[in-house]
Amino acid sequence: MEKSTMTQQTEEVLDLINGTFDSEDAKEILRNLFEYKINYHKLRNFNSQIRFGEQDDHSLERALELKQALGQMIEFFGKEQSKAYKITAKVVIEPIAD
Protein backbone atom coordinates (compact mmCIF):
# COMPACT_ATOMS: atom_id res chain seq x y z
CA MET A 1 0.00 0.00 0.00
CA GLU A 2 1.42 3.38 -1.00
CA LYS A 3 1.50 6.32 1.31
CA SER A 4 -0.77 9.14 0.27
CA THR A 5 0.56 12.54 -0.67
CA MET A 6 -0.87 13.89 2.58
CA THR A 7 1.29 11.63 4.75
CA GLN A 8 4.48 12.27 2.78
CA GLN A 9 4.33 16.05 3.09
CA THR A 10 4.30 18.29 6.11
CA GLU A 11 1.86 20.61 4.37
CA GLU A 12 -0.82 20.24 1.72
CA VAL A 13 -2.02 23.19 -0.36
CA LEU A 14 -5.29 22.80 -2.25
CA ASP A 15 -7.06 25.17 -4.63
CA LEU A 16 -10.50 25.92 -3.25
CA ILE A 17 -11.32 28.61 -5.81
CA ASN A 18 -9.21 29.50 -8.81
CA GLY A 19 -10.89 31.22 -11.70
CA THR A 20 -12.46 34.25 -13.30
CA PHE A 21 -16.13 34.89 -12.61
CA ASP A 22 -18.68 37.46 -13.64
CA SER A 23 -19.83 39.82 -10.90
CA GLU A 24 -22.94 37.88 -9.88
CA ASP A 25 -21.23 34.49 -9.84
CA ALA A 26 -18.27 35.86 -7.84
CA LYS A 27 -20.60 37.38 -5.26
CA GLU A 28 -22.71 34.22 -5.04
CA ILE A 29 -19.72 31.89 -4.64
CA LEU A 30 -18.19 34.01 -1.87
CA ARG A 31 -21.53 34.63 -0.15
CA ASN A 32 -22.22 30.88 -0.09
CA LEU A 33 -18.80 30.14 1.42
CA PHE A 34 -19.25 32.75 4.14
CA GLU A 35 -22.80 31.64 4.92
CA TYR A 36 -21.75 27.99 5.08
CA LYS A 37 -19.01 28.79 7.61
CA ILE A 38 -21.33 31.04 9.65
CA ASN A 39 -23.94 28.26 9.80
CA TYR A 40 -21.24 25.74 10.76
CA HIS A 41 -20.29 27.84 13.78
CA LYS A 42 -23.93 28.46 14.72
CA LEU A 43 -24.57 24.71 14.66
CA ARG A 44 -21.40 24.02 16.62
CA ASN A 45 -22.53 26.49 19.30
CA PHE A 46 -26.02 24.96 19.36
CA ASN A 47 -24.52 21.48 19.80
CA SER A 48 -22.34 22.73 22.65
CA GLN A 49 -25.37 24.23 24.38
CA ILE A 50 -27.36 21.00 24.01
CA ARG A 51 -24.54 18.62 24.97
CA PHE A 52 -22.71 20.61 27.65
CA GLY A 53 -25.14 23.34 28.67
CA GLU A 54 -22.71 26.09 27.69
CA GLN A 55 -22.06 28.16 24.62
CA ASP A 56 -19.02 27.71 22.39
CA ASP A 57 -17.31 31.09 22.73
CA HIS A 58 -14.87 30.38 19.90
CA SER A 59 -17.68 29.57 17.47
CA LEU A 60 -19.69 32.61 18.51
CA GLU A 61 -16.66 34.86 18.00
CA ARG A 62 -15.78 33.24 14.68
CA ALA A 63 -19.37 33.55 13.41
CA LEU A 64 -19.29 37.26 14.25
CA GLU A 65 -15.97 37.71 12.41
CA LEU A 66 -17.36 35.89 9.39
CA LYS A 67 -20.53 38.02 9.39
CA GLN A 68 -18.37 41.14 9.38
CA ALA A 69 -16.26 39.77 6.52
CA LEU A 70 -19.45 38.91 4.61
CA GLY A 71 -20.59 42.50 5.05
CA GLN A 72 -17.25 43.76 3.74
CA MET A 73 -17.53 41.49 0.71
CA ILE A 74 -21.06 42.69 -0.04
CA GLU A 75 -19.92 46.30 0.35
CA PHE A 76 -16.99 45.67 -2.00
CA PHE A 77 -19.25 44.33 -4.74
CA GLY A 78 -21.66 47.22 -4.17
CA LYS A 79 -18.89 49.74 -4.94
CA GLU A 80 -17.07 47.90 -7.72
CA GLN A 81 -18.27 48.12 -11.29
CA SER A 82 -16.09 45.46 -12.90
CA LYS A 83 -17.79 42.84 -15.04
CA ALA A 84 -15.39 40.07 -14.02
CA TYR A 85 -13.25 39.13 -11.03
CA LYS A 86 -10.39 36.73 -10.57
CA ILE A 87 -10.79 34.87 -7.31
CA THR A 88 -8.13 32.65 -5.81
CA ALA A 89 -8.54 30.86 -2.51
CA LYS A 90 -6.09 28.27 -1.29
CA VAL A 91 -6.48 25.90 1.64
CA VAL A 92 -3.34 25.03 3.57
CA ILE A 93 -3.48 21.87 5.71
CA GLU A 94 -0.71 21.51 8.27
CA PRO A 95 -0.45 18.76 10.89
CA ILE A 96 -0.10 19.96 14.46
CA ALA A 97 2.38 18.14 16.66
CA ASP A 98 0.80 16.36 19.64
The pTM of the full predicted model, rounded to 2 decimals, is 0.83
Residues 68-74: what's their mean pLDDT? 98
pLDDT value at position 22?
A: 96
* Domain residue limits, the chain: 23-93
Low-confidence winner among 9-18, 32-41, 57-66 (lowest mean pLDDT): 9-18
Q: What residues are paired with 14 via a beta bridge?
A: 91
pLDDT value at position 62?
A: 98
Q: What residues are paired with 15 via a beta bridge?
A: 90
End-to-end CA distance of the chain: 26
pLDDT at residue 1 is higher than 50? no
Q: 10 versus 72: which is more confidently predicted?
A: 72
Task: Compute the mean pLDDT over every residue in the chain, rounded to the nearest whole number.
Answer: 92
